[in-house]
Amino acid sequence: MEKIREFIEWGAFGVCSKLGEKLGIASSRIRLWFIYISFLTLGSPIIVYMAMLFTLNIRKYVFFAKRNPVEAN
């Protein structure tokens, strides 16, 4: 149950916190503005959010994956 909760939290809050780190803005402020913009534009930023989440997941698997070394014989 703990792993499921961590996965959901990372997926839901990971994008905002990563963006906040890059821009030097508090992630709570980014989440708040995301909610405001979503209401004003009828949900279109959700598509952008999902694309950013997908990009973060791809980076996690590509850069942090354990690679098997090739044995030279």
Question: What pLDDT, on the 0 to 100 scale, is given for residue 11?
Answer: 67
| Helix residue ranges per DSSP H, 2-44 | 2-23, 27-40
Pair 27, 17: CB distance under 8 Å: yes
pTM of the model: 0.49
Residue 21 covered by a domain: yes
The total domain count for the chain is: 1
Q: Does some domain include residue 7?
A: yes
Residue pLDDT, tens place only, 28-43: 888 888 788 877 777 7
Give 3-state DSSP helix, strand, coil % of the chain, rounded to 5: 75, 0, 25
Is-contact 44 51, C-beta < 8 A? no
Residue 70 lies in a domain: no
Residue 61, Cβ density class (10 Å: 0-12 exposed, 13-18 middle, ≥19 buried) = exposed
